[in-house]
Amino acid sequence: MLMLACLAFCVAASLAQPGHVLLASFDEAIRADRNDWGNTEPVALEGFRLTAPGEGCPANPSGRALDAGFSADILRGCLAFAIPETADLRQGTVEFWFKPAWGAGAREVHNLFHIKLRGGYWNGICLVYHGTIGADAEALGANIMDGLDHPAYLCPARPLGWKAGDWHHLAFSWTDYTEYVFWDGQLIAQFVSPNPFHIKTNEGQVCVASGWRSNVHARVLIDEFRFCDVPLYCPDHPPDPLQRLGGNLGLGLAAPGTNAKASADSLAEPVPLDEDVRELHDGKFGQAAQVGTEPNCGVVVVRLAQEEAVCAFEWSRDGVPYAGPEGRGWAALTPYPLEFSIETSQDGETWEKVVEERDFRITPDFVASHQALRIRHDFPARQARFVRMNMKRGPRGDPMLMLDEVAVYSPDGRNLAQEPGAKVTTALTARVRQYTPELAIDGRWGEESCWRSATPGHGVLTVELPEPTTVSRVVFSRSHEGLARDGVPSEGRIEVSLDGATWAPVAEITGADPKPREITLAPQRAKFVRLVVTATADGKEPTVDDLRIY
């Protein structure tokens, strides 16, 4: 309904095939052994070098490792590999061994892994050791900063207790809603977001043991580094640190890149979604949220709890009472919309423009006449259920536009955006959830990557393998992480075929566990494998977020 261009982008992104791998063993040279996104040679390399043979991690002790400032004579350095700016990183895993030159309690910050995302200065996916949280605290931060400010310092004030010079394995997997961090194969923390992360375009680099455009290194040895765009680990499936990493992600015979195909007898209709951005109408100033998917434009929509008389719209880029240079506030120095309109609607479909600004400026006179940079636009009162700010142009430099608070006022002075039932969405949070069968075999999990039948209690999901092969095992799940329980297949069967016409049942499906269920088959040749669901635990449409064939 709203912001169709953004929705189309999300649909296209959901159809991109994942399964890319960036692998660097550092045994022979400072390059990637494999980079499915691009060149194996670094796009940035300064200061780092390889250790001598025999100084590798416990998984490969006879090998070498990357010296990223572990040796005292390496004063500065950086390493980065190229990936496309449009790479779909909504889900993924990074893992590696590292040996720090610093121990637990170090009063320092060390960036171990970093992908800078477009948008705000802090936007990125990173693994960072923070020794500056407090006087007696430290944290290992697995952070996704996405314009909605989803920092996940997964181990706040938690001493991890390592020593300088010890090898440790670190793994970080994320999906659209979840993050998991593993330390030496043990889950040390997890984070579940109420709203999905909004990981869009990036700055085109994967930084190892250093930050984006920074040659301040992490003072570590790094070994057996692997980054991929599918989640590999969750609490029920932790990593095995001593297993050497490779390009095979263990996704089975129908993994992305095998040319396997998925089809279904039916699929649920796409569902438009728009999550509430609570930060934009909680009455708290200073915490900004990104409002667009592309530079210099954006949309904020306020949906009121019910149709009301409205007469004013207020917004701020940084509405904290004046601070900054000479007490004039920081907002005038940060990107804010220059061309925009305020529009109202009763149904969310037909809009009436009530305010239009073609070259808005925060002037010295404006600053002098306000105690904080909160910009209010009054207009003749009218009935509305929806009020939106449509931002068409910002300052030069292609910044992502951000706001920290919006308000809609009634003639009697109430802020309707803060009343129970009100909701604020942006171009960044509007999207469409697809349920195509290909999403069940893309190696990803969760509500954003699943097939759903259109028929309550029944559905058939079919996988065509590239060629006839021996099949001995099938693994499927409704919710790989166990976070959803609707549409769990409870009765049905697994069938195989060589021609797609004549089918043989080979196993029965029972139970109602949403997590992965492994079904062992008598080994047999097949080109087609299908999951036939004849009942679900709650009678709803069968849903499968992961189907693997071995």
**CA nearest to 211, candidates 107, 120, 78:** 78
Pairing of strands 339-345, 430-433: unpaired
User: pLDDT value at position 6?
Assistant: 37
Q: Distances from the Cα of 364 to the Cαs of 238, 300, 361, 373, 495, in angstroms?
A: 57, 26, 9, 11, 73
User: pLDDT value at position 283?
Assistant: 92
SS3 102: coil
Spatial separation of the C-alpha atoms in residues 435 and 464, rounded to whole Å: 18
User: pLDDT value at position 5?
Assistant: 35
Spatial separation of the C-alpha atoms in residues 493 and 490, rounded to whole Å: 10
| Cβ pair 124, 116 in contact under 8 A | yes
**Kind and range of the H or E element at 10?**
helix 4-15
**CA nearest to 459, candidates 263, 268, 266, 271:** 266
Q: What is the DSSP letter of 269?
A: P
SS3 65: coil
Q: What is the DSSP letter of 159?
A: -
| Cβ pair 140, 127 in contact under 8 A | yes
Q: Where in the chain is the domain with CATH 2.60.120.260?
A: 261-270+434-549, 276-428
- CATH H superfamily, domain 276-428: Galactose-binding domain-like (2.60.120.260)
Q: Where in the chain is the domain with CATH 2.60.120.200?
A: 20-228
| Cβ pair 448, 196 in contact under 8 A | yes
Q: What is the DSSP letter of 502?
A: S
Q: What is the DSSP letter of 42?
A: -
Classify residue 307 as left (phi > 0), alpha (psi -120 to 50) or beta.
beta
User: pLDDT value at position 135?
Assistant: 57
Residue type at 342?
A: I
| Residue 383, strand partner residues | 309
Q: Distances from the Cα of 365 to the Cαs of 101, 255, 368, 369, 524, in angstroms?
A: 54, 61, 5, 6, 80
Q: What is the DSSP letter of 424?
A: E
Q: CB neighbours of 135 closer than 8 A, spacing ≥ 6?
A: none
How large is the C-alpha radius of gyration of the chain?
26
| Residue 45, strand partner residues | 79
Residue type at 326?
A: E
Q: Distances from the Cα of 485 to the Cαs of 69, 193, 515, in angstroms?
A: 47, 18, 9
Per-10-residue mean pLDDT, the chain, length 550:
36 60 97 96 96 97 97 94 96 97 83 88 85 66 77 56 90 94 91 84 94 86 98 96 92 94 97 88 86 84 97 89 55 76 96 96 80 91 98 76 93 97 89 94 95 98 98 98 96 98 97 96 97 98 98
* Both tokens assigned to 351: 């809009």
**Domain 261-270+434-549 CATH (choose: 2.30.330.10, 1.10.10.60, 2.60.120.260, 1.10.10.10):** 2.60.120.260
| Cβ pair 472, 521 in contact under 8 A | yes
Q: End-to-end CA distance of the chain, in Å?
A: 42
For 338, phi then psi, to 5°, come to -105, -30
Question: What CATH class does 20-228 carry?
Answer: mainly beta
**CA nearest to 173, candidates 221, 131, 127:** 127
* Both tokens assigned to 257: 């890149």
The mean of the pLDDT values for the chain is: 89
Residue type at 373?
A: L
Spatial separation of the C-alpha atoms in residues 470 and 336, rounded to whole Å: 60
Spatial separation of the C-alpha atoms in residues 139 and 393, rounded to whole Å: 39
